[in-house]
């Protein structure tokens, strides 16, 4: 819904700002974003300076002067629906068709239609909303890729105007289609410009704006000048008034040039409520408080309509007005008025906006604040009337919700209902919030969850300490789901340190679980383990077996990822036993699948296959009973493929990957499709087909971009490794550097270290030896901090190889010994592989050097007191030392 500012044809002043806008619009090298904000520094002076008026005027000028070359979209974030990325994308695609009618976004349209059909199923079945958005985005990009060339040839442009940005400035991600994208989203469209209007200056330290100063041109907007006010009054006032008079100067002083107050003053004068002399007789510091209550003196029932609009807030229409009149007992009588008359009067007021596509109205946001402060709080100090109005609005929304087929419209009504439930009774509104908020998060519908959270935030000053803690916890969960784990951790740590002791004692398991999941997302395995272990101890003492099972499974995942396989199996087995006892079949299958991966990594193929096949069978049966999605079967098939691939059975591996791929295609599961592309690349690697493998990894890169960070980084890493094998090391460095950048952005330390090692191997030791050491030192610092023993081993192996090929054998084998040391700590299988590789390397050096190097290896091992715990090393190199004595 887009709201129209009244009197747009009578636009006055702002010539300098209009000139700036036109130059920005027509200058091909100007930044693609123009940001308009209040020039005032004081918070109480912001708002009502005419941003909306100017924004609409700029949009009209763009349509009038460039209608053949430009599509215009106007979005107002005051409207809850305009804060949804899917609805924004739909509006933009519709307007693009207007300037290029021969083009049709058929793929996007089909995806949207399918989403509309399935959106209720998404809500009812527990499917992921984020996956649905990924499907829509992929379709959008496919269509826009074809359009980009046409727009460039015809020099056509899309301009999007965003109003009331302050409502989403803390979390602008609600208005983008992809969770990983920054606002505004250009949908990979090259010929697009954006105008944003908000109260406040941009916060360049906000994650959405960091490093983007060159993308934005900023235009502060001051109140009207005296001349502009005089022109405005002359155009809008219905009786004679000398613009150059003493009265005009006095009115300008009292309104401070703020268009919202000037417009209200004109409304008061036009409705014969006050004379100009009455208004200017009021002292400047009391003028606002005197002027605003004059709306009470508008003709009945218009005065009441304004009060109702200020409180109803999100939307106001004739049915809501009539519903309030029928059920709310007010102290004063309200005169009847027919719909047509009311609909004709309201648009004449300067502070009322009308929806562009319906008969809904809202007050200007600043006028709403003023009416609430100066009218409602005086006339209704105990909020009796406003609560009665809210109760009636709740009934209206609940009736509407019974017959709304569109899930997104249903969500908008739920958000608006939440506001009034909270206003009437916090103890009723907060459970309503939690019900819909956590349901949205389970579906990964973060846009809906964020909208709900924003409504509760408006009441934060009224919440008790315990309720505030609940709200802070909810924000942490939301931030983690939005992948902003650093911000989530900051809130969780603050709760641990400052929350009321009783609240924290009751909710400590929740806080610790979220903390552990944040650390797990960052690959900070030690911290994640600590959080989950603390939580497990508490849940065991409370007898909560289901939560214990979840925690044990999480611990299994962590120890599996850190390759402590025996420990991982221990936790998996405990979770499996509990899930089986509790009859949690889906969770049971997930834990079996996880343990299967551990057995695969241990080289125990038969055990791995047995567990994976059982999990596959359970998931298949659950799918037939409509209890899980088919994607779960795909996950088991993927695991089966990995088991067969590691066992060297390429044919079976490829078959299972293809079956998983078919399922992901049917489900439009983009993350899964990208994963299988990487798997197909591994299959080709196993066949020795490097070029074919590289093509699959490139496809995975394209498919996973902005959808699955882990698969995207992995695809870059694999392409880098192939380039090294093909002796294309300069090309390899590009892939590794890209992967490092994305790993840092995703705060994935493990993948960051993996690719730092890859980069070191790709650099030329003769030309960039110093940089190689710097890269490996950075990798070592992270790996040491996070206890990535396998990666520490790879770092030492890389250092050893560099020295080995330089024939610095003593130095090389010291690094190789450390490589074996780290792998011994890591796991027995990799330790054996490391020893074998070092033996091969030792036998590859000049025969005369072998005994001396073998002794150095044995000395290192015994000095580190590893000879007893890991005797295999001593046996291997002791035997070489003996056998070489001829």
**Mean of the pLDDT values across residues 822-831?**
88
Is pLDDT larger for residue 878 or for residue 80?
Answer: 878
Please indicate whether residue 758 or residue 110 has the higher confidence score (pLDDT): 758
Query: In terms of Cα–Cα distance, which of 450, 426, 428, 425 is closest to 437?
Result: 450
| DSSP type of residue 80 | G
Q: Are residues 248 and 199 in the same domain?
A: no
Tokens of 768: 């960039």
Query: Residue 879 domain-assigned?
Result: yes
Average confidence (pLDDT) over 578-603: 93
Domain termination residue (choose one: 756, 787, 818): 787
Neighbours of 29 (CB within 10 A): 4
Q: Do 161 and 190 share a domain, yes or no?
A: yes
Residue ranges of the alpha helices (H) in 83-201?
85-99, 106-125, 129-154
d(CA 483, CA 486): 9
Over residues 127-138, mean pLDDT: 63
Handedness of CA 818, 821, 825, 828 (dihedral sign): positive
Q: Which domain-ending residue is among 272, 297, 322?
A: 297
Query: Are residues 882 and 840 part of one domain?
Result: yes
Stated as kind and residue range, the H or E segment containing 75 is strand 70-76
Q: How many Å apart are CA 445 and CA 435, to the nearest integer? A: 14
The pLDDT of residue 89: 80
Q: Residue 765 above 90 pLDDT?
A: no
Distance in angstroms (rounded) separating the CA atoms of residues 409 and 448: 11
pLDDT tops 70 at residue 111? yes
In this model, does residue 357 exceed pLDDT 90? no
- 78 and 197 together in one domain: yes
pLDDT in tens, 468-497: 999 999 999 999 887 788 899 999 999 999
Q: What is the pTM of this model?
A: 0.73
With cut-offs at 50, 70 and 90, classify the pLDDT of residue 618. very high
- For residue 768, what is the domain's CATH number? 1.25.40.10
Question: Does residue 482 lie in a domain region?
Answer: no
Q: Are residues 28 and 117 in the same domain?
A: yes
Report if residue 190 sits inside a domain. yes
pLDDT averaged over every residue in the chain: 87
Q: Is residue 861 very low, low, confident or very high in pLDDT (cuts 50, 70, 90)?
A: very high
Task: Report yes or no on 834 lying in a domain.
Answer: yes
pLDDT of residue 117: 65
CB neighbour list of residue 43: distance below 8 Å, 6 or more residues apart: none
Domain boundary residue, one of 178, 196, 222: 222
Instruction: Output the six-digit token pair for 447.
Output: 């846009």
Residue 828 pLDDT exceeds 70 = yes
pLDDT of residue 4 exceeding 50: no
Does 755 reside within a domain?
Answer: yes
The whole-number pLDDT of residue 127 equals: 44
pLDDT at 366 over 80: yes
pLDDT given at position 118: 63
In this structure, the answer to whether residues 123 and 255 fall within a common structural domain is no
CATH (domain of 184): 3.40.50
The count of domains in the chain is 4
**Residue 269 domain-assigned (yes or no):** yes
Inform me whether the pLDDT recorded for 201 exceeds 90.
yes
| pLDDT the model gives residue 125 | 39
Q: Can you give the pLDDT at residue 446?
A: 80
Token pair 């719909």 in the structure block, residue: 339
Say whether pLDDT at 9 is over 70.
no
Q: How far apart are the first and last CA of the chain?
A: 90
List the domain range (segments joined by +) for residue 38: 3-222
DSSP codes of every residue in 703-729: HHTTT-HHHHHHHHHHHHHHHHHTT-H
pLDDT band, residue 126 (cuts 50/70/90) = very low
Distance separating alpha carbons of residues 535 and 516, to the nearest angstrom: 9
Residues in the chain: 886
> Quick one: pLDDT at residue 139?
79
Tell me if residue 700 falls in helix, strand or coil: helix
Q: Do both 34 and 109 map to the same domain?
A: yes
Q: Please, which pLDDT band fits residue 344 given cuts at 50, 70 and 90?
A: confident
Is pLDDT of 556 > 80? yes
Q: Are residues 759 and 878 in the same domain?
A: no
92-101, 667-676, 752-761: segment of lowest average pLDDT: 92-101
- What would the mean pLDDT of 375-389 be, rounded to a whole number? 91
Any domain includes 676: yes
Q: Quick one: 261 and 194 in the same domain?
A: no
| Three-state DSSP class for residue 221 | strand
Secondary structure (3-state) at 37: strand
What's the farthest any 2 CA atoms get from each other in the chain? 119
Strand pairing class (33-38; 70-76): unpaired
Which has the higher per-residue pLDDT, 365 or 154? 365
Residue 829 clears pLDDT 50, i.e. is over it: yes
Query: Which of 54, 362, 40 has its CA nearest to residue 195?
Result: 54
Residue burial 199-221, b: 16+ Cβ < 10 Å; e: rest: beebeeeeebbeeeeeebbebeb
C-beta pairs of 565-569 under 8 Å, 24+ apart in sequence? 565/598, 565/601, 565/602, 565/827, 568/595, 568/598, 569/595, 569/598, 569/599
Residue 578 is predicted with a pLDDT of 97
Same domain membership, residue 234 and residue 216 = no
What radius of gyration, in Å, describes the C-alpha atoms of the chain? 33
Burial of 390 (0-12, 13-18, 19+ CB in 10 A): buried
- DSSP assignment of 350-383 equals TTEEEESSSS-EEE-HHHHHHHIIIIIHHH-TT-
Beta-carbon contacts of 253 under 8 Å, excluding residues fewer than 6 positions away, are 284
299-332 tens-digit pLDDT: 888 888 888 888 988 888 888 888 888 888 776 7
Lowest model confidence (mean pLDDT) among 119-133, 271-285, 395-409, 583-597: 119-133
Q: What pLDDT is recorded for position 10? A: 59
Specify the range with the lowest mean pLDDT, choosing from 43-47, 251-255, 511-515, 874-878: 43-47
Same domain, 112 and 77: yes
The pair of three-digit structure tokens given for residue 229, joined into one six-digit string: 């006010």
pLDDT band at 129 (very low <50, low <70, confident <90, very high): low
**Which residues sit opposite 720 in a β-bridge?**
none
In this prediction, residue 352 has a pLDDT band, given cuts at 50, 70 and 90, of confident
Q: Would you state the pLDDT for residue 885?
A: 59
pLDDT in tens, 706-749: 677 889 999 999 999 999 999 999 999 999 999 999 898 877 88
Same domain, 840 and 874: yes
Judged by average pLDDT, the poorest of 46-50, 173-177, 430-434, 825-829 is: 173-177
In a domain, residue 475? The reply is: no
Q: Is the pLDDT of residue 32 over 90?
A: yes
Contact 2, 356 (CB under 8 A): yes
């Amino acid at each position: 819904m887009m709201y129209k500012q009244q009197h747009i044809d009578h636009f006055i002043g702002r010539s300098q700002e209009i000139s700036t806008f036109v130059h920005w619009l027509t200058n091909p090298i100007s930044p693609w974003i123009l940001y308009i904000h209040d020039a005032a520094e004081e918070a109480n002076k912001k708002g009502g300076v005419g941003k909306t008026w100017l924004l609409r005027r700029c949009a009209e000028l763009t349509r009038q002067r460039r209608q053949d070359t430009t599509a215009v979209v106007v979005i107002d974030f005051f409207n809850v629906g305009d804060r949804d990325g899917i609805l924004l994308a739909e509006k933009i695609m519709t307007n693009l068709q207007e300037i290029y009618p021969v083009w049709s976004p058929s793929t996007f349209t089909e995806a949207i239609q399918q989403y509309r059909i399935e959106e209720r199923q998404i809500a009812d079945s527990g499917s992921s909303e984020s996956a649905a958005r990924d499907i829509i985005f992929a379709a959008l990009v496919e269509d826009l890729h074809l359009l980009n060339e046409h727009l460039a040839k015809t020099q056509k442009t899309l301009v999007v105007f965003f109003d009331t940005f302050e409502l989403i400035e803390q979390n602008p991600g609600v208005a983008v289609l992809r969770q990983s994208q920054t606002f505004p989203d250009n949908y990979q469209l090259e010929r697009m410009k954006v105008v944003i209007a908000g109260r406040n200056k941009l916060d360049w330290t906000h994650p959405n704006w960091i490093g983007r100063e060159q993308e934005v041109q900023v235009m502060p907007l001051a109140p009207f000048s005296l001349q502009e006010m005089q022109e405005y009054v002359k155009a809008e006032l219905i009786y004679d008034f000398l613009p150059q008079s003493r009265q005009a100067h006095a009115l300008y002083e009292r309104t401070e040039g703020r268009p919202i107050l000037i417009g209200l003053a004109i409304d008061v004068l036009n409705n014969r409520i006050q004379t100009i002399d009455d208004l200017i007789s009021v002292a400047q510091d009391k003028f606002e408080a005197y002027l605003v209550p004059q709306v009470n003196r508008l003709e009945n029932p218009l005065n009441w309509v304004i009060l109702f609009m200020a409180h109803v807030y999100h939307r106001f229409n004739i049915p809501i007005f009539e519903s309030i009149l029928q059920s709310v007992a007010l102290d004063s009588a309200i005169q009847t008025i027919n719909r047509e008359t009311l609909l004709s009067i309201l648009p004449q007021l300067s502070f009322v906006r009308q929806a562009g596509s319906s008969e809904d109205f809202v007050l200007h946001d600043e006028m709403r604040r003023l009416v609430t402060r100066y009218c409602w709080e005086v006339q209704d100090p105990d909020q009796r009337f406003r609560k009665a109005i809210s109760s009636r609005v709740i009934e209206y929304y609940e009736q509407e919700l019974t017959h709304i087929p569109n899930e997104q419209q249903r969500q908008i009504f739920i958000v608006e209902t939440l506001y009034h439930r909270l206003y009437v009774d916090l103890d009723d509104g907060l459970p309503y919030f939690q019900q819909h908020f956590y349901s949205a998060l389970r579906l990964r519908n973060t846009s809906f969850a964020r909208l709900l959270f924003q409504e509760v935030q408006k009441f934060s000053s009224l919440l008790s300490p315990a309720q505030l803690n609940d709200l802070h916890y909810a924000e942490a969960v939301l931030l983690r789901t939005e992948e902003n784990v650093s911000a989530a951790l900051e809130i969780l740590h603050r709760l641990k340190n400052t929350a009321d002791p009783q609240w924290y004692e009751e909710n400590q398991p929740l806080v610790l679980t979220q903390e552990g999941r944040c650390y797990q997302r960052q690959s900070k395995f030690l911290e994640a383990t600590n959080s989950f272990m603390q939580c497990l101890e508490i849940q065991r003492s409370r007898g909560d077996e289901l939560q214990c099972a979840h925690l044990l499974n999480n611990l299994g995942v962590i120890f599996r990822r850190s390759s402590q396989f025996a420990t991982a199996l221990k936790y998996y087995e405990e979770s499996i036993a509990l899930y089986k006892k509790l009859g949690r079949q889906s969770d049971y299958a997930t834990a079996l699948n996880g343990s299967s991966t551990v057995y695969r990594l241990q080289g125990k193929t038969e055990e791995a296959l047995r567990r994976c096949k059982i999990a596959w069978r359970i998931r298949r049966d659950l799918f037939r009973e409509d209890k899980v999605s088919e994607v779960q079967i795909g996950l088991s098939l993927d695991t089966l493929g990995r088991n067969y691939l590691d066992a060297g059975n390429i044919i079976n591996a490829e078959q299972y990957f293809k079956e998983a791929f078919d399922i992901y295609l049917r489900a439009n599961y983009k993350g899964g499709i990208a994963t299988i592309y990487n798997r197909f690349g591994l299959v080709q690697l196993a066949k020795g087909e490097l070029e074919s493998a590289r093509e699959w990894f490139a496809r995975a890169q394209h498919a996973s971009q902005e959808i699955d960070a882990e698969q995207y980084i992995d695809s870059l890493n694999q392409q880098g490794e192939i380039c090294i094998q093909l002796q294309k090391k300069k090309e390899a460095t590009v892939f590794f550097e890209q992967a490092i950048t994305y790993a840092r952005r995703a705060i994935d330390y493990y993948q960051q270290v993996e690719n730092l090692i890859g980069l070191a191997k790709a650099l030329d030791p003769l030309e960039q030896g110093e940089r190689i050491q710097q890269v490996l030192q950075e990798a070592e610092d992270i790996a040491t901090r996070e206890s990535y023993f396998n990666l520490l081993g790879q770092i030492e192996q890389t250092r050893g190889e560099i020295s080995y090929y330089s024939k610095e054998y003593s130095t090389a084998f010291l690094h190789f010994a450390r490589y074996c040391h780290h792998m011994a700590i890591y796991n027995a299988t990799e330790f054996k592989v490391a020893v074998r590789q070092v033996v091969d390397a030792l036998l590859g050096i000049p025969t005369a050097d072998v005994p001396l190097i073998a002794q150095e290896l044995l000395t290192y091992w015994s000095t580190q007191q590893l000879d007893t715990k890991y005797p295999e090393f001593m046996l291997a190199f002791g035997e070489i030392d003996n056998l070489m004595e001829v």
